[in-house]
Amino acid sequence: MNIILLGPPGAGKGTQAQRLVERHGMRQLSTGDMLRAAVKAGTPVGLQAKAVMERGELVSDAIVSALIGEELDQMGPQAGAIFDGYPRTAAQAESLDEILAVRGRKLDHVIELDVDEDALVERITGRFTCANCGKGYHDTFEQPREPGVCDKCGSREFKRRPDDNAETVRTRMAEYRAKTAPILPIYEARGIVSRVNGMAELDGVTAAIERIISG
């Protein structure tokens, strides 16, 4: 199974992808995570991407599509893929078709997380993750069960993203509206888009996604 989670920054793509990974052993392919790893490692890709990401703009299509291809090649052919934060432009959507086709994969579902833009700033400015295992949290909506301790791995170190601030979020939303939302009709024409209310509580969103992928 190959699915795309589509939605603006803070819609819940990463959170829901992590849940699918745990329940179904699928793999999460997050270009944002790959780019942050490249920035941290100081690779040529990272050096190119860093300032672009800090501004909240989009990294080049060629870079992210290459990252996705490499990551797919490291997975077993049977493992399901959840594309999180990719594709984000029409050119990336075209590349993905090609990337999947040459690997004998096909897209099963595009799941759009439908959210109120007004809620996104709060979601993003309250977001943090475990520095050790990457589990996502929120200051208000998803706190660790024991304060200061990761539910999943017990680590006491957490981190926040430098681009998760109110100003950058506005640019990221504008990028989404201008370049990413317009790719939906491509998938609608294929009859593979399902819409989920991303404003529902976390478990409700997960249940709605489960119904789509099991139906």
9, 78, 102, 121, 155 from 13: Cα distances, Å: 8, 22, 26, 15, 23
Options 50, 85, 107, 150; binder of ligand ADP; rule CB under 6 A: 85
**95 interacts with, out of Zn ion, ligand ADP, none, CB within 5 to 8 A per kind:** none
Assess contact for 85 and 59: CB atoms under 8 A.
no
Structural tokens at position 208: 């709605």
**86 interacts with, out of ligand ADP, Zn ion, none, CB within 5 to 8 A per kind:** ligand ADP
d(CA 48, CA 44): 6
Number of residues that bind ligand ADP (CB under 6 A): 35
Distance of CA 191 to the CA centre of its chain: 22
Residue 111 in the binding site for ligand ADP (CB under 6 A):
no
88 carries an active-site annotation: yes
Options 46, 80, 134, 136; binder of ligand ADP; rule CB under 6 A: 136
Burial environment of residue 35 by CB neighbours within 10 A (0 to 12, 13 to 18, 19 or more): buried
**141 interacts with, out of ligand ADP, Zn ion, none, CB within 5 to 8 A per kind:** ligand ADP
Residue 152-171 contact track with ligand ADP, rule CB under 6 A, x = bound: --------------------
d(CA 72, CA 136): 23
- Positions that interact with ligand ADP (CB under 6 A): 7, 9-15, 31-32, 35, 52-53, 56-59, 64, 85-86, 88, 92, 123, 126-127, 136-138, 141-142, 172, 200-202, 205
Active-site annotation, residues: 13, 88, 127, 161, 172
